[in-house]
């Protein structure tokens, strides 16, 4: 950082430019301290990629809107990154779902603005299960099916989708920017998973994607809960993979195979490149599909 500042000062021969350049240096310094870069997706819309999570930021004349607060342990760094984008107040934070790596920062951000989430998110945070959270993190505003915010010249649509990754999944559409934050209903490169302990399922994930994909413009930028920025075509490929997985398990069940026999065959390994790299094994996908499909009978 010292070298950058020295270079700017050396080349800044016009005195009126110097304050602006020094402000730029200060902003870069804050961003470096925060450790998270903000990638512009459209005018006034950015994604902060923090510890593998994608946090969306709308920054404009009306203030700042965040989609997801990130993990509690990194919330202060996310806040520092947000401050490099805008000096305006934070107006709202939207939770895409209940998991701590997405909503753990609620307690910090709710000191500045209310958190919005589906009512199942608040219910799970208030309970005694795996998703329990301190009261300061509980969303102050909840909704049932959908709500719309009109800020920064944007129509921000928060839509509840069928229980897939969790039973409180919300997808957030930025209409004018043509950006959609999917939460963990979709993860790059193609396939997410259903978190049973949070009301999710593999079959529900298929239903969720079937519901939401037709609502997304073909040229929209897709922000997954984790991974690289994607497209609707990537999501469609992910849905195709999930359906193919389901078909493999259905065929095995009809053939009389036990779950252990099917797992031993490693039938999903051919799709290893379609799931997040941190998924060490495909066995869990096989087991979850098998349990869900046999439970239906």
pLDDT digits (tens, 9 = 90+) for 138-195: 999 999 999 999 999 999 999 999 999 999 999 999 999 999 999 999 999 999 999 9
Cis, peptide link before residue 222, omega less than 30° from 0: no
Q: Which residues contact 184 (CB under 8 A, 6 or more apart)?
A: 96, 97, 99, 102, 165, 166, 169, 192, 195, 224, 225, 226
Report, as an integer, the average pLDDT of 130-138.
98
Provide the pairing of β-strand 63-67 with 53-60: antiparallel
3-class secondary structure, 80? helix
Considering only residues 22 and 208, tell me which one the structure prediction assigns the higher pLDDT.
208
In which order are the strands placed within the sheet that holds 115-118?
Answer: 38-42, 45-50, 53-60, 63-67, 90-94, 115-118, 141-143
Q: What's the chain's average pLDDT?
A: 90
Q: Would you say residue 9 has pLDDT above 60?
A: no
Q: Would you say residue 257 has pLDDT above 50?
A: yes
Cα 238 to Cα 31, 263, 273, 285: the distances in Å are 34, 21, 11, 14
Question: What is the percent of the chain where pLDDT is above 90?
Answer: 85
pLDDT value of residue 23: 34
Question: What is the percent of the chain where pLDDT is above 70?
Answer: 88
Q: Would you say residue 5 has pLDDT above 60?
A: no
185 and 192 Cβ atoms separated by less than 8 Å: yes
96 and 171 Cβ atoms separated by less than 8 Å: yes
pLDDT value of residue 296: 64
CA–CA dist 95, 103 (Å, integer): 6
Lowest mean pLDDT among 5-9, 38-42, 69-73, 201-205: 5-9
- Note the pLDDT tens digit of each residue in 30-59: 433 445 889 999 999 999 998 889 999 999
pLDDT value of residue 52: 86
Q: Would you say residue 7 has pLDDT above 60?
A: no
Return the structure tokens found at 267: 């039938």
Q: Where are the domains of the chain?
A: 1-34, 35-232
Cα 199 to Cα 3, 9, 130, 203, 253: the distances in Å are 52, 56, 11, 12, 24
Q: Which CATH number fits domain 35-232: 3.90.550.10, 3.60.15.10, 1.10.3720.10, 3.40.50.970?
A: 3.60.15.10
């Amino acid at each position: 950082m010292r070298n950058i500042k020295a270079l700017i000062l050396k080349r800044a021969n016009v005195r009126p430019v110097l304050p602006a350049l020094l402000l730029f240096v200060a902003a870069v310094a804050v961003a470096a301290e925060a450790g998270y870069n903000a990638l512009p997706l459209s005018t006034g819309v950015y994604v902060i990629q923090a510890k593998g999570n994608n946090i969306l930021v709308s920054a404009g004349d009306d203030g700042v809107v965040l989609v997801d607060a990130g993990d509690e342990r990194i919330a202060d760094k996310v806040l520092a990154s947000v401050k490099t984008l805008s000096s305006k107040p934070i107006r709202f934070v939207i939770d895409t779902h209940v998991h701590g790596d997405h909503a753990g920062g609620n307690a910090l951000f709710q000191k500045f603005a209310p958190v919005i989430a589906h009512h199942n998110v608040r219910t799970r945070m208030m309970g005694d299960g795996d998703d329990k959270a301190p009261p300061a993190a509980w969303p102050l505003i909840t909704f049932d099916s959908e709500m719309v915010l009109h800020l920064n010249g944007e129509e921000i649509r928060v839509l509840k989708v069928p229980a897939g990754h969790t039973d409180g999944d919300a997808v957030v559409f930025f209409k004018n920017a043509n950006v959609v934050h999917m939460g963990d209903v979709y993860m790059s490169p193609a396939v997410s998973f259903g978190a049973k302990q949070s009301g999710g399922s593999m079959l529900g994930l298929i239903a969720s994607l079937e519901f939401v994909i037709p609502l997304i413009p073909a040229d929209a930028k897709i922000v997954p809960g984790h991974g690289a920025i994607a497209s609707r075509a990537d999501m469609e490929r992910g849905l195709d993979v999930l359906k193919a997985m389901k078909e493999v398990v259905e065929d095995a069940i009809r053939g009389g195979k036990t779950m252990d026999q099917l797992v031993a065959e490693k039938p999903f390994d051919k799709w290893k490149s379609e799931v997040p790299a941190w998924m060490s094994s495909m066995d869990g996908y096989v087991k979850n599909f098998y349990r869900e499909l046999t439970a239906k009978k």
